[in-house]
């Protein structure tokens, strides 16, 4: 009897694996046929039977196991009160920011670094300017600030051109501070990551600025004073 049970269990595992591979193949084939420009980064069964979790860049989608239906929305564990999609998005945001790299950001470092945040900023945004005017307070709290540009007026706008000029300046940090104070920054062009920043902002569904993202990929939309930001970042490190 024991051998029969073991054989049945092994057969179920093998069949399940074959079906899973077949489902993944059907989904990829369907996506490639309908949306050939979409690059699937990962595809795996979700916690819901018949539904697969698909990541594309920093985005998370859900696809039926026959590849016919695609959903974009929040998957919530009702009993556990958990937003499972947000947990996954935290991971994809973190990965996307690491891929972007600090060489493609404007970074302000404290003497003793305790925390790191990445901030999508618009040079002409009022609350972005307020946050930057308090930069010393964030640095005093040990927060490393990594800036990415998100000129909300769009490509080739005045804010966009200012961002490019700041990036192309000899001292980007000083140029950004000057621009935030509405001081003149000489107009320049060069190879720059502003378009990549804007695409990443679109992937992250950034609606406004500033948008703060922690090391864990958590989002804090809008301006937060240094003491409140530290409290939020410290809470992320507190075991739940």
Tell me which of 23, 124, 125, 129 is the catalytic residue. Answer: 125
Residue 122 falls in the annotated catalytic set: yes
Residues 119 and 210: their CA atoms lie apart, in Å, by 6
Residues 201 and 179: their CA atoms lie apart, in Å, by 21
Q: What is the 3-class SS of 125-166, one letter each residue?
A: CHHHHHHHHCHHHHHHCCEEEEEEECCCCCCCCHHHHHHHHH
Q: Which helix (H) or strand (E) holds 191?
A: none
How far is the CA of 90 from the CAs of 56, 62, 97, 215, in angstroms? Answer: 14, 16, 11, 9
- As given in the structure block, the two tokens for residue 142 are 């040990």
**What are phi and psi for residue 120, nearest 5 degrees?**
-80, 125
Tell me which of 122, 129, 171, 190 is the catalytic residue. Answer: 122
Tell me which of 23, 93, 124, 128 is the catalytic residue. Answer: 128
Q: Are 92 and 217 in contact (CB under 8 A)?
A: yes
Residue 128 falls in the annotated catalytic set: yes
Residues 165 and 175: their CA atoms lie apart, in Å, by 8
Q: Which helix (H) or strand (E) holds 107?
A: strand 106-108
Cβ neighbors of 124 (< 8 A, separation 6 or more) are 151, 153, 158, 159, 162
Q: Among all residues, which ones are annotated catalytic?
A: 122, 125, 128, 152
């Amino acid at each position: 009897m024991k051998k029969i049970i073991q054989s049945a269990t092994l057969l179920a595992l093998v069949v399940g694996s074959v079906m899973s591979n077949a489902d993944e193949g059907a989904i990829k084939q369907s996506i490639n046929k309908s949306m050939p420009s979409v690059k699937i980064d990962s595809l795996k069964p979700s916690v819901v039977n018949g539904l697969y979790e698909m990541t594309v860049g920093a985005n998370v989608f859900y696809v039926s196991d026959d590849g016919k239906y695609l959903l974009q929305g929040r998957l919530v564990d009702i009993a556990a009160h958990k937003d499972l999609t947000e947990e996954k998005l935290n991971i994809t945001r973190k990965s996307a920011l690491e891929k972007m790299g600090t060489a493609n950001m404007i970074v302000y470092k404290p003497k003793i670094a305790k925390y790191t945040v990445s901030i999508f900023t618009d040079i002409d945004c009022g609350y972005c300017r307020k946050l930057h005017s308090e930069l010393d307070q964030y640095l005093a709290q040990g927060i490393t600030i990594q800036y990415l540009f998100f000129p909300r007026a769009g490509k080739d706008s005045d804010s966009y051109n200012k961002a490019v000029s700041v990036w192309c300046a000899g001292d980007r940090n000083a140029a950004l501070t000057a621009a935030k104070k509405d001081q003149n920054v000489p107009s320049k062009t060069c190879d720059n990551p502003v378009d990549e920043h804007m695409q990443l902002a679109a992937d992250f569904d950034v609606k406004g600025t500033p948008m703060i993202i922690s090391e864990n990929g958590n989002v804090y939309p809008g301006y937060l004073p240094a003491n409140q930001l530290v409290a939020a970042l410290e809470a992320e490190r507190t075991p739940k």
